[in-house]
Amino acid sequence: MFSHRLKAFIGHLNISITAFEAKIGVSKGALAKPIKNDKTVGVEVLEKIFNYYPNVNLEWLVAGAGVMLKDGSPVESADLVTLPKDEYIDLQRKALLNQDERIAALERELGRK
């Protein structure tokens, strides 16, 4: 769910929702309310998030596809405590798959396979 992923990303940054709202330049409550009520946000807010945090994977944030960060770097499990168990497991599986694909590509590049 979008609101769970947004909350997980904010947790990953180790800041409060209010601080996150201030950093991206939206009014207080613009994200807290949708997170609390399991709602989505508008395109303008997504643009602000991406402009301030270009490493966040918007496909993950919006649709739950892929991993949280574009560079595929691992996300600490403590960052994901707000996700439901099934979403957490799915996210970890996707992260592992992403890493396996990256390793295979690097091995091909090195001529090992």
pLDDT tens track for 46-67 = 999 999 888 898 888 988 888 8
Question: Does the model's pTM come out above 0.75?
Answer: no
Distances (CA, A) of 105 to 67, 69, 81, 101, 111: 18, 19, 31, 6, 10
Mean pLDDT of 70-85: 59
Residue (of 4, 66, 11) closest to 40 by Cα position? 4
Query: Cβ neighbours of residue 35 under 8 Å, at least 6 residues apart?
Result: 3, 6, 7, 17
pLDDT score of 31: 93
Find the angle CA(38)-CA(3)-CA(92) to the nearest 5 degrees.
Answer: 130
Q: Which residue has the tokens 């609101």?
A: 3
Q: Are 4 and 82 in contact (CB under 8 A)?
A: yes
